């Protein structure tokens, strides 16, 4: 007898044996059990036998079959290829999908035809344009009112309804900078695109005090941080500021275009930069806002920069 068939018979006997042990008398093999169980076991037996012999058939076919047809002229290391006919069904499906694709792009759903997304985008653009035109020339009161209402929705979750930063969760917007924020900027430098592009401020190893002709010291950092956070008033720290910071930030701390930002007061331009680029600092990370229109930015800039002046 063929070895494969012998192996198949052994497998069947083994599997039926396992089934018997597993199901036992509950399966009705011992004469107990109802006809549902008996049928189930019968099904299992049939499945085992049929599966094993179908597999055996294909294994034998693989063992015995020899390919037929015309061999192609080329061969690769002695391995050749038969020139078999394309299966008809495959060819029909292939051609069918090509024709369907052409139809789909040109007639069925043309790329430039109506689409709901397209209509939606047009409507949004039209609405935005109308909105921009309507609020193009706002007086200060309207601008601030719009800024406040956007603030309550977009900003209050972090900055609080009072814009006080909710005990350190975000920046207190009534002051330009907290002392620890100034300190962190001096010690680590700052790279928050506050001038619109990446124009970093050097860290403490790049900050020379022109008065002492030496790198800024710990004591000087403490003094100048308090001075800046206090609104650049008084005399303590003023000399350090004049010697180290004024060259970039200006004698009054109001900054210079493309050199350094205004650190004396919250200007609309400064707020605008923070809104568009986000900010990472001593307190945490503020996300950049990309989903507001220019009018809305302008309103927020005006409202937020007015907070510290009240
Ligand atoms: C070489 C020029 C330069 C010098 C000197 C300099 N700064 Fe700056 N500073 C910058 C620039 C540029 C930025 C903006 C960096 C950015 O985009 O984040 C900046 C940012 C800052 C900020 C962050 C502002 C904010 O809103 O977060 C603080 C605070 C600051 N500087 C304080 C100081 C102090 C205090 C000194 C002196 C001890 C000083 N800087 C010296 C160029 C300078
Ligand atoms: C997910 C929380 C979060 C949201 C929302 C948020 N902020 Fe902030 N914001 C922060 C944090 C945190 C800081 C402080 C970053 C730092 O310097 O460490 C900050 C800082 C700022 C600053 C800089 C203050 C300074 O002195 O340099 C401004 C201005 C500001 N936010 C305005 C806004 C406005 C306006 C909105 C709404 C459009 C807003 N923020 C929404 C968390 C948030």
Cα separation, 193 vs 201, in Å, equals 10
Cα separation, 109 vs 144, in Å, equals 47
Distance 260 CA to ligand 1 centre (A): 6
pLDDT digits 0-9 by tens, 105-147: 888 877 777 778 778 888 988 998 998 888 888 888 999 999 9
Please name the residue whose Cα sits nearest to atom 10 of ligand 2.
286
Cα separation, 189 vs 245, in Å, equals 12
Distance 265 CA to ligand 2 centre (A): 15
CA-closest candidate to residue 303, choices 163, 128, 167, 196 = 163
CB contact at 8 A, 12 and 54? no
Q: Is the CB of 193 under 6 A from ligand 1?
A: yes
Q: How much is the mean pLDDT over the chain?
A: 87
Please name the residue whose Cα sits nearest to atom 19 of ligand 1.
201
pLDDT at position 42: 86
Mutate to test the pocket of ligand 1, among 181, 190, 230, 262 (most ligand atoms within 8 A of CB): 190
CA-closest candidate to residue 303, choices 153, 131, 130 = 153
What Cα–Cα distance (Å) separates residue 303 from each residue in 252, 254, 299, 307? 23, 19, 6, 7
CB contact at 8 A, 10 and 1? no
CA-closest candidate to residue 19, choices 57, 52, 55 = 52
What mean pLDDT comes out for the span 80-98?
91
pLDDT at position 260: 93
pLDDT at position 188: 93
pLDDT at position 137: 86
pLDDT above 60 (res 308):
yes
Q: Which of 12-26, 28-42, 73-87, 279-293 has the lowest mean pLDDT?
A: 28-42
Cα separation, 100 vs 94, in Å, equals 10
pLDDT digits 0-9 by tens, 94-113: 999 999 999 988 888 777 77
Q: Is the CB of 177 under 6 A from ligand 2?
A: yes
Q: Is the CB of 41 under 6 A from ligand 1?
A: no
Q: Which two tokens stand for residue 237?
A: 């720290």
What Cα–Cα distance (Å) separates residue 63 from each residue in 6, 60, 113? 15, 5, 57
Distance 179 CA to ligand 1 centre (A): 14
Q: Which two tokens stand for residue 94?
A: 């292939």
pLDDT digits 0-9 by tens, 261-294: 999 989 999 999 999 999 998 898 999 998 888 8
pLDDT above 70 (res 30):
no
N-terminal to C-terminal alpha carbon distance within the chain: 103
pLDDT at position 33: 58
pLDDT digits 0-9 by tens, 192-203: 999 988 889 999
What mean pLDDT comes out for the span 28-36?
60
Q: Which two tokens stand for residue 131?
A: 């909105």
pLDDT above 90 (res 24):
no
pLDDT digits 0-9 by tens, 229-242: 988 888 888 889 99
- Could you identify the atom of ligand 1 that is nearest to the CA of residue 273? 17
Cα separation, 241 vs 223, in Å, equals 9
CA-closest candidate to residue 204, choices 214, 193, 194, 192 = 214
- Could you identify the atom of ligand 2 that is nearest to the CA of residue 282? 18
CB contact at 8 A, 161 and 227? no
pLDDT above 80 (res 25):
no
- Could you identify the atom of ligand 2 that is nearest to the CA of residue 266? 26
- Could you identify the atom of ligand 1 that is nearest to the CA of residue 224? 35
Q: Which residue has the higher pLDDT, 87 or 96?
A: 96
Q: Is the CB of 281 under 6 A from ligand 2?
A: yes
Q: Which residue has the higher pLDDT, 111 or 207?
A: 207
pLDDT above 90 (res 249):
yes
Please report where in the chains the tokens 């599997």 appear, as a residue: 15
pLDDT above 70 (res 254):
yes
Q: Is the CB of 192 under 6 A from ligand 2?
A: no
pLDDT at position 274: 93
């Amino acid at each position: 007898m063929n070895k494969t068939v012998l192996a198949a018979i052994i497998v069947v006997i083994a599997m039926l044996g396992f089934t018997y042990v597993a199901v036992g008398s509950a399966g009705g093999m011992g004469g107990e059990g109802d006809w549902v169980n008996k049928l189930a076991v019968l099904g299992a037996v049939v499945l085992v036998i049929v599966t094993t012999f179908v597999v055996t058939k294909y294994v034998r076919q693989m063992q015995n079959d020899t390919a037929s047809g015309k061999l192609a002229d080329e061969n690769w290391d002695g391995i050749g290829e038969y020139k078999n006919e394309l299966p008809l069904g495959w060819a029909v499906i292939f051609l069918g999908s090509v024709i369907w694709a052409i139809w789909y792009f040109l007639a069925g759903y043309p790329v430039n035809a109506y689409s709901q997304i397209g209509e939606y985008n047009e409507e949004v653009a039209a609405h935005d344009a109308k909105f921009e035109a309507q609020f193009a020339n706002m007086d200060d009161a309207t601008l601030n009112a719009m800024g406040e209402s956007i603030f309550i929705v977009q900003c209050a979750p972090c900055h609080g309804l009072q814009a006080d930063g909710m005990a350190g969760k975000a920046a207190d917007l009534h002051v330009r900078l907290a002392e620890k924020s100034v300190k962190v900027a001096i010690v680590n430098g700052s790279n928050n695109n506050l001038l619109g592009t990446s124009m970093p401020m050097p860290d403490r190893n790049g900050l020379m005090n022109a008065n002492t002709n030496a790198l800024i010291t710990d004591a000087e950092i403490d003094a100048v941080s308090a001075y800046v956070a206090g609104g650049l008033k008084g005399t303590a720290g003023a000399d350090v500021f004049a010697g180290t910071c004024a060259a970039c930030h200006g004698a009054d701390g109001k900054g210079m275009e493309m050199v350094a930002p205004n650190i004396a007061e919250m200007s609309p331009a400064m707020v605008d930069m923070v809104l568009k680029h986000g900010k990472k600092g001593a307190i945490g990370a503020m996300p950049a806002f990309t989903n507001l229109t220019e009018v809305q930015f302008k309103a927020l800039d005006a409202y937020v920069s007015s907070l510290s002046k009240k």
